[in-house]
Structure 1
Amino acid sequence: MSDPANRHERPRRKLGLSMAIALVMGNMIGSGVFLLPASLAPFGWNGVAGWAITIGGALALAFVLARLTALHPDAGGPTGFVERAFGRIPSFMIGWAYWVSVWTANVTLAVAAVSFLSLFVPALGQHTALSTIALIWIVTAINWRGARAAGQFQVVTLLIKLIPLVTVIILIPIAFGRSEPVALTPFPADGLSLAAVSGSAILTLWALLGFESASVAADKVANPAVTIPRATIVGTLATGILYLIVCSAIALMLPAAEVAKSEAPFSLFVETWWGREPALFIGAFAAVSALGTLNGWTLIQAELPATLARQGLLPSWFGRENRHGTPTAALLLSSAIATACVLLNSSKSTSEMFTFMAVLSTSVTLWLYLACAAAALRMRVAIPVALIGLVYAVWTLWGAGIGVSAMSLILMAAGLPLYAWTMLSAPAGREEPPVA
């Protein structure tokens, strides 16, 4: 285990409330939101209903995480809650699979950022693999400087990535104020479809993944019992409202067929209601959005295995920190594995990698949400809301498909040999923590 002295309070290295909110919102608002309206366009008003359900479910799960953190601030985040409720093996399996999904998703974020940047620097697109690897290690270098440096970078990129979302919101009343009427998608005569609402809810949940970020990085947050609950609720609610307004406007205020086939629905909206020149800048904001999200998840990909190491679920060297308080071994290993993934998948198209990683990340993260809701019920914390979150997680996991859910379970089991090796090599006398 890492020396406890390395983990005493160091305010200059901790994330305050604004940085914790930026971590939550920055990890939720990634490159995918710029493509999501195209996927939701065919659903019409069913997509709006899907957003409403997803935001409600995400807020329920966020509230559960907030209450668990407030009551158990020393647990170390979601995996700690699961360990206290169900024991070490379930905690390891959830944490292991979640960690794998993070660094694999980071590959997709880096590829997306390079794809957007290549619109302005074509040479990057000609050497996609090298550009992607370079970007991964640039962000790794930022995180090497500690959580505070990563948090500052996250605040800046969040402010920049909010610009296109705010632009769409401003253009909505301008569009309705024009002399020519807006051809708004009509509400379906037969009412909403449960199947369509469920289908859209799967897509909208993927866009809201990441509200657990502050809780996962609990060791790097100042006054976690207060800061994490506030950051989680504020970040989730703010992002959900932004998504609901912006994505619904794009899907309903433009012809569905045009939005569905568009590779840049945000640009299409801005070009329609403002002009072509402003629309060209959306690609730059999308690149910054992907870069900021990559930064936030790089922080998580280092902190999660370090937390598992402090719980004794991974070898202790995962938790060793440099003078900036960064778990360097975990950070470097995660980025090295991400680099290997880029090299091994360099022949795949961006869309193929993006789709696969999105589905897998959603499924694995749902198991994390499901486990946390179940842990809250087991520990009798926020029981009514935890029950809502549990039902929502099960419903969405079922909607994701049996194949993907089975794949995520296999991913969880794949880490058990490492867990067994960690237990065998651990010092004698380690006691199993009591189950609530």
Structure 2
Amino acid sequence: MSTPAPKALGFWMCCALVVGNMIGSGVFMLPASLAPYGWNGVLGWIVTIAGGLCLAFVFARLAAALPREGGPYAYTQEAFGPTAGFIVAWAYWISLWVGNAAIAAGAVSYLSVLVPAIAKVPGLHALVTLSLIWGLIGVNCFGAKLAGEVQVVTTLLKLLPLAAVLGLSAWLLTRSGSTALAAPLRVSELGGQSLVAASALTLWALLGLESATVPADKVKDPARTIPRATLFGAAFTGVIYLLVCSAVVLLSPADALKGSNAPIAEFVGRFWGSGAAMAVAAFAAISAFGALNGWVLLQGEMPYAMARGGVFPAFLGKASPRGTPVRAHLVSGAFLTVLVAMNYAKSMAELFTFIALLATTASLFTYLACALAALKLQRDGRVPGSRLLTMIAILAGLYAVFTLFGAGKEAVLWGLVLLAAGIPAHLLMRRAARA
């Protein structure tokens, strides 16, 4: 009889997984995407943080009641049955490997500040991106404990450039007051489509708040550890995002940010020189590297959990002697490689924005389903009931619908196409099960 693999992820590693997955390339790349929206970008952050905390609360309650591997897939299947569980798991899995392409693009974008040839040589950024991805797939195939240790170290390192941005912003505002603002506040311009679009973009940066729920079988005391890590990680990261991104957008001319491959490095460099900009770029690349490490862990764990649940081919549910889902990692990595190769001709900024919106859209379907699952499981008595959970789950569902509108027709259409692609796979799996 084989000995079960030890549970390698404690509270701080789970916190690092949540914070590390959320603080990735988003905080370092989004100022360029949010530049046209000005103060609507700030308001978008507030809306997104409120919605994200609602979602985090829902995931925390679900994880406490049902501490099972697979996270969103497990909750939806428990509430609505295997077909709904499959669709949500398929959408979430797509959001994982699609999102990893955007995170890797962000990492390489900042590396191009240190190695200019990456941006100048056609197609080189795609090769560097794929090398980074497959290197981290190798780390995760070696074992969850190693991946967790890498996550803790990179999470601590990625906070340093964000602290530098906050210090610089505080110095500018103390020295010059409101005259330092490049984007004046005009109340009449707040709201409308600009706010909806900004809210959709900012959600990309909060994707990952459910990260600790996915590898539940590798977490120590999951019923207690996962909810605490989820709520703490989401709240901490939301505050960091609001302060850092808002400072860069409001204290920089919009024209200086649009299309920038390294907006935060350029912001610091404008006041502290090229040496500081290079240092920030290096730490930003480490930040995205750490986030990619955590997301690569999840892109292997999700199909592994689905296969063990009987909704994905059984060969993906086999673990290595180290207890890692090597086969699932390799399949996810193959899809990710195809996506990057198909878009190698895009600039790094274009690649990031397009894939970020696509990953956000796929995640929103998952978040909406989990909010509805919380209501259903509470009604059925399988999750402890409370008026607070009912209210917050409704708000989380409304927030998901609101943000879908902001993602735009193209991203939503592509999201629906990718969802529809999972239906034939599900039908084939059902036919194989009956046979």
Superposed CA deviations along residues 330-373 of structure 1, whole A, max 9, x for unmatched, are 01111123223333433333333322211110100000000000
Aligned CA RMSD, in angstroms, stands at: 2.3
1:128 and 2:125 aligned: yes
SS class of match (2:36): helix
Whether the 8 Å contact between 2:67 and 2:213 is mirrored in structure 1 is: no
CA distance in 1, matches of 2:86, 2:268: 46
CA distance in 2, matches of 1:72, 1:363: 26
TM norm structure 2:
0.90
Provide the aligned length of Structure 1 versus Structure 2.
Answer: 422
1:130–1:172 Cα change, 3 Å: closer
Residue from 98, 101, 108 that aligns with 2:95: 101
Residue from 289, 295, 298 that aligns with 2:296: 298
Aligned residue identity for 2:218: K
Residue from 131, 134, 138 that aligns with 2:135: 138
CA distance in 2, matches of 1:267, 1:347: 24
2:36 is matched with: 42
Q: Which 5+ residue runs of structure 1 have no aligned equivalent?
A: 429-436
1:244 offset after TM fit, Å?
0.5
CA distance in 2, matches of 1:342, 1:416: 24
Whether the 8 Å contact between 2:32 and 2:257 is mirrored in structure 1 is: yes
Superposed CA deviations along residues 246-295 of structure 1, whole A, max 9, x for unmatched, are 11111222333433464432123313443332122222122112211211
2:56 is matched with: 62
Residue from 381, 395, 399 that aligns with 1:392: 399
CA distance in 2, matches of 1:196, 1:344: 30
Residue from 371, 374, 383 that aligns with 2:390: 383
CA distance in 2, matches of 1:365, 1:82: 14
Residue from 176, 198, 205 that aligns with 1:207: 205
TM norm structure 1:
0.90
Aligned pairs for 1:80-119 (under 5 A) are 80-119=74-113
1:252–1:132 Cα change, 3 Å: closer
Residue from 12, 26, 36 that aligns with 1:18: 12
Q: Which moved more, 1:331-340 or 1:288-297?
A: 331-340
Residue from 158, 161, 180 that aligns with 2:158: 161
Aligned pairs for 1:247-396 (under 5 A) are 247-260=245-258, 262-380=260-378, 381=385, 382-396=389-403
CA distance in 1, matches of 2:405, 2:126: 35
Whether the 8 Å contact between 1:175 and 1:273 is mirrored in structure 2 is: no
1:243 offset after TM fit, Å?
0.5
Superposed CA deviations along residues 10-51 of structure 1, whole A, max 9, x for unmatched, are 13xx21111111111111112232121122233222222111
CA distance in 2, matches of 1:330, 1:61: 27
Whether the 8 Å contact between 2:69 and 2:213 is mirrored in structure 1 is: no
CA distance in 2, matches of 1:203, 1:106: 16
Query: Percent sequence identity over matched residues?
Result: 48
1:301 offset after TM fit, Å?
0.6
1:174 and 2:171 aligned: yes
SS class of match (1:326): coil
Whether the 8 Å contact between 1:175 and 1:182 is mirrored in structure 2 is: no
1:411 and 2:418 aligned: yes
Aligned residue identity for 2:18: V
Whether the 8 Å contact between 1:41 and 1:259 is mirrored in structure 2 is: yes
1:72–1:116 Cα change, 3 Å: same
1:420 and 2:418 aligned: no
CA distance in 1, matches of 2:35, 2:252: 9
Superposed CA deviations along residues 380-408 of structure 1, whole A, max 9, x for unmatched, are 25111101101111111122234432322
Aligned residue identity for 1:269: F
1:123 offset after TM fit, Å?
5.6
1:147 and 2:144 aligned: yes
Aligned pairs for 1:230-249 (under 5 A) are 230-249=228-247
1:191 offset after TM fit, Å?
6.4
CA distance in 2, matches of 1:229, 1:202: 25
